[in-house]
Structures are given as structure tokens and as C-alpha cells.
Amino acid sequence: MYKDIRPQLLNELSEIEKAGTTKSETEITSAQGSHVIIDGASFLNFCSNNYLGLSNHPEIIAAVKVSLDEHGYGLSSVRFICGTQDLHLELESQLTKFLSQEATILFPSCFDANGGIFEVLMKEEDAIISDELNHASIIDGIRLSKAKRYRYKNRDMADLEAQLIESQSARRRLIVTDGVFSMDGYLAPLPEICALAAKYNALVMVDDSHAVGFMGATGAGTPEHFGVSDQVDIISGTLGKALGGASGGYISARQEIVDILRQKARPYLFSNSVPPSVVSGSLKALELVSSSDELRTALHSNAKLFRELMQAAGFTLLPGEHPIVPVMFSTESEAVGVAQNLHAQGIHAVAFSYPVVPLGKARIRIQLSALHSQEDIRECVRAFSQSVS
Ligand SMILES: *Cc1c(COP(=O)(O)O)cnc(C)c1O
């Protein structure tokens, strides 16, 4: 009876409120971009995953409009009944080429890709060895599998090796890591991970959601960045960040792995096809990303400029080369206060504190986009300086 349950839920909600961890949502009334409209006012946006500025790109929107006319709005079917169009096959083939893998399978989201793969590939007699800071979807996907679970400390290769030694009796072993850890902007040490995988005969899986499209010389992500594309067996990723930012996910991997996922992965078999318009938009995004370095270059020079100016202004940043730039504060309340002051100056950025990040590691996470102008970045740095003084 709901009347009995309601007080319990209200109690739970007030516990969240008391802990100060209630998530609120900012209502944006414009398209996604470097500037967004909030409460009728223009804000400079530094917290989206619109790394390459493709979320509202005119060529993508034009391609989607054509697709709506030619391929319709929805498919009302999963892929294996009557939900596979020429477009889906084309996107899978383009992603395979782009990522230098053997085959690709689309999922409704990367959350679903990660939710579907472990149960299929890793059985009771197998072992999954996972970085402790891996994305929630990897954690949930691993929970759905009957394989033995091993966890290693974030990017800690000695601990990974210890877990590999520990798990030596398993039939199959899979090391899984995020390509980029999104709270820190740190990259997974893929060369070392691949070397350990070779030494201990394990598979390597990388979730490259925060890298695909803009890390690596051609945007193929962290495996390309580190020159280990041929040693990574499985890549999962999203179409919902740099590659247009709509939705959809994929697994690009060895042929047989993709073949078996098509037969057995539950989020693939039992959830609707990615809408044709989104597939067309993603195809155009891939074409834009493959045909020119321009957006990647703009993104990385923006990240570099922001890091340099912030350091010169005396702020503490986590080091790195990724367009995720965490600006660190000594207390939780300082981070929250600075984010509020930024907001008052027309800068949209989000403070993260415990338990999302470790206690004492409060931060404002700035995400650069290829769309930001140098003046946008200077304005953001000025606003930071005024927010602390
Ligand atoms: C964003 C993200 C996902 C989820 O992607 P969706 O396509 O939005 O479900 C999964 N893994 C990582 C590492 C991510 O950053």
C-alpha cells in the first residue's frame, strides 16, 4: 500500500537532502552549445561533454532532416525482428573502420553496451579484473555476470598485477578500464595494462566514452593515443558525448565477440533500435571527425590555454592533457561557493564534492569544447579569479 511506503520514501529523500547530496537539474531553454540560455539569460557553458561542438552542428542537423524524410522517425522494433536499416549497418561498419577493430555492434546506450557484455562473455569459471573507478555501467554490468570479480586501485599497475596473479586459475580473464576517468581527466595507462594482459594471458576492454572522437591522432581514442589499438580486444563507447551527443552506444571488438553479443546480449536483443535520425547524425559526426583535425586541434588548444591561464592565476589543477580540467579547492564549501560566484558571473560550471569524489578533493570540473573562443576561456578564468577574492 502506497500510504505505508510514502513516509519511508519521504524519509529517504530528506536523508539525501540532509547529507547535502540532492542533485538538482538546471533548465536550459536553448540548444546545447558554448553558450546556453538559463532563466532567460546567456551563460558560458563549461560543463557539457560537447567536446567537439557537434551537438548542434549545422551539417549534422541537415543530415538528420534528410534522414527523417527518407528513413522515418522510429522503427518500433528491436534489431533482429525488423529494426535493422541500411543506416545501422553503415554506422557499425564506419565505427569498425574508425576504431581499427574487426566488428561493431550498436546498443541503445553505452550504459547498455557495458550492461550487456560481461554476462555474455564471462561465466562462472572466468574472472573480471576492474579498475575501482570504472563507470557505474561497468560496475552494474559486472554484477550481472557470474564471473569472479577482482578490483584494482585506480591506475595502480602493481595492484593490477597482484589481482592477475590472484586470479590465475580462471578459464578466461578480462581486464576492464575506462580510457579516461571522468572526475580527474586522467588517462588509463594502456601500454602497461596491455603488457600485463599479454604477460598473464588476459583480454583487455576499454570504455572510451570520454575519448572517442578527440583523443589520438585521428580521434580514435585512448588506444590510438597510446599506440596500442592492436592490443585492445574490446572497446565500448558512446555516441552521446563528442560524437554528436544524442544517444547510442557500441562495442567494437574482435569479430567473434561481436557475433556472440548479437546473439546473446540482452540490452541489444530486448531494447529498441537506435532511431534512424540519430544513426544518420552519428554517421555525419563520424564523417566530420574523420575528415579533418580542425575541431580536435581547437579543443586541445583550448584545454591547453585554460590550463596555462588558470595556473598563472594561482589555481591548483589536476595535471593532464584532457579537456576535463579539475580545479581543486581545499574545502567542500569553498568549491560550492566558487561555483555559485561563477554562476553569478554568467559561467555555468559544476562543483563536485564527497561522496562523488574523495573527501578533501572537492573541485569544480571544467570541460572545454572546440566551440569555446579564446575570449570565452579568458572570461572564465577572470570569473574564477573574482570568485575567490
Ligand atoms: C558517459 C559514459 C557512459 C554512458 O554512456 P551513455 O551512452 O550515455 O549510456 C558509459 N561509460 C563511460 C565511461 C561514460 O563516461
Residues 46 and 87 in one domain: no
| % residues pLDDT > 70 (the chain) | 100
**CA–CA separation, 99 vs 205, rounded Å?**
13
pLDDT score recorded for residue 342: 97
298: in domain:
yes
Which three cell numbers mark 267?
540490452
Mark which of 289, 324, 348 sits at the end of a domain: 289
CB 202 within 8 A of CB 209: no
Q: State which ligand 1 atom lies nearest to the alpha carbon of 249.
A: 7
CA distances from 247 to 157, 274, 292 (A): 33, 8, 23
Q: Which residues are catalytic?
A: 182, 210, 241
Q: Is 9 within the bounds of a domain?
A: no
**What's residue 347's pLDDT?**
98
Q: Which of 22-26, 146-150, 260-264, 373-377 is the least confident region?
A: 22-26
Strands (E), 108-172: 127-131, 148-152
**What secondary structure does DSSP assign to 294-352, as a single string?**
HHHHHHHHHHHHHHHHHHHTT-EE---SSSEEEEE-SSHHHHHHHHHHHHHTTEE-EEE
Is pLDDT of 284 > 80?
A: yes
Find out whether the beta carbon of 210 lies less than 6 Å from any atom of ligand 1: yes
Mean predicted confidence (pLDDT) in 287-308: 98
pLDDT above 80 for 127: yes
Distance CA 383, CA 60 (A): 33
For residue 38, the domain's CATH number is 3.90.1150.10
Q: What is the residue range of 148's domain?
A: 75-289
Query: For residue 228, which of 262, 251, 205 has the smallest C-alpha distance?
Result: 205
Q: 213 in ligand 1 pocket by Cβ < 6 Å?
A: no
Instruction: Assess whether 138 and 236 both reside in one domain.
Output: yes
For residue 166, pLDDT beyond 80: yes
Nearest-atom number in ligand 1 for the CA of 49 is 1
Neighbours of 205 (CB within 10 A): 25
Going from the Cα of 247 to the center of ligand 1, the distance in angstroms, rounded, reads: 10
Instruction: Give 17's pLDDT tier (boundaries 50, 70, 90).
Output: very high
Atom of ligand 1 nearest to the CA of 180: 13
Q: Across the chain, what does the average pLDDT equal?
A: 97
Mean pLDDT for 335-340 is 95
CA of 110 to the centre of ligand 1 (A): 5
The domain total for the chain is: 2
| Domain identity same for 216 and 196 | yes
Phi, psi for residue 149 in degrees, rounded to 5: -110, 135
The arithmetic mean of pLDDT across residues 273-280, rounded, is: 98
Instruction: Decide: 276 in ligand 1 pocket, CB within 6 A.
Output: no
Q: Are residues 242 and 181 in the same domain?
A: yes
Is the pLDDT assigned to residue 22 strictly greater than 90? no
Residue 121 phi, psi dihedral angles, 5° rounding:
-90, -30
In 3D space, the residue among 88, 94, 111, 46 whose CA is nearest the CA of residue 327 turns out to be: 46
Residue 106 has pLDDT above 90, yes or no: yes
Question: What is the whole-number distance in angstroms between the Cα of residue 240 and the centre of ligand 1?
Answer: 8
For a pocket test of ligand 1, which of 138, 241, 274, 322 has the largest count of ligand atoms closer than 8 A to its C-beta?
Answer: 241
167 and 148 Cβ atoms separated by less than 8 Å: yes
Residues 92 and 172 in one domain: yes
pLDDT in tens, 325-336: 999 999 999 999
Closest C-alpha residue for ligand 1 atom 1: 209
Residue nearest to atom 2 of ligand 1 (CA): 209
Residue 141: burial class (beta carbons within 10 Å; 0-12, 13-18, 19+): buried
Write down the residue that cell numbers 563528442 correspond to.
242
Average pLDDT over residues 290-305: 97
Could you tell me if residue 319 is inside a domain?
A: yes
With 90 as the cut, is the pLDDT of residue 389 above it? no
CA of 247, closest atom in ligand 1: 7
What torsion do the CA atoms of 384, 385, 387, 389 make, to the nearest 10 degrees? 160
135 lines ligand 1 (CB under 6 A): yes
**Percent over 90 (pLDDT), the chain:** 96
Q: Is ligand 1 within 6 A of the CB of residue 109?
A: yes
Distance 303 CA to ligand 1 centre (A): 21
Q: What is the pLDDT of residue 355?
A: 85
Average pLDDT over residues 198-224: 98
pLDDT of residue 346: 97
How big is the chain by its Cα radius of gyration, in Å?
22
Q: Are residues 164 and 93 in the same domain?
A: yes
Q: What is the pLDDT of residue 21?
A: 84
**Helices 136-143 and 110-121: angle between axes, nearest 10 degrees:** 30
- Report pTM: 0.97
Pocket test for ligand 1, best of 209, 234, 250, 367 (most atoms within 8 A of CB): 209
Q: How far is the CA of 237 from the centre of ligand 1 (A)?
A: 7
- State residue 202's pLDDT score: 98
**Do 234 and 206 meet the contact criterion of CB atoms below 8 Å apart?**
yes
The predicted structure's pLDDT at residue 19: 87
Asked if residue 111 has its Cβ within 6 Å of ligand 1, the reply is yes
Mean pLDDT across the stretch 285-296?
A: 97
The reply to whether 117 and 264 lie within a common domain is: yes
- CA 68/CA 278 separation, integer angstroms: 10
CATH number for the domain harbouring residue 147: 3.40.640.10
Query: What residue owns the CA closest to ligand 1's atom 14?
Result: 209
> What mean pLDDT comes out for the span 356-360?
89
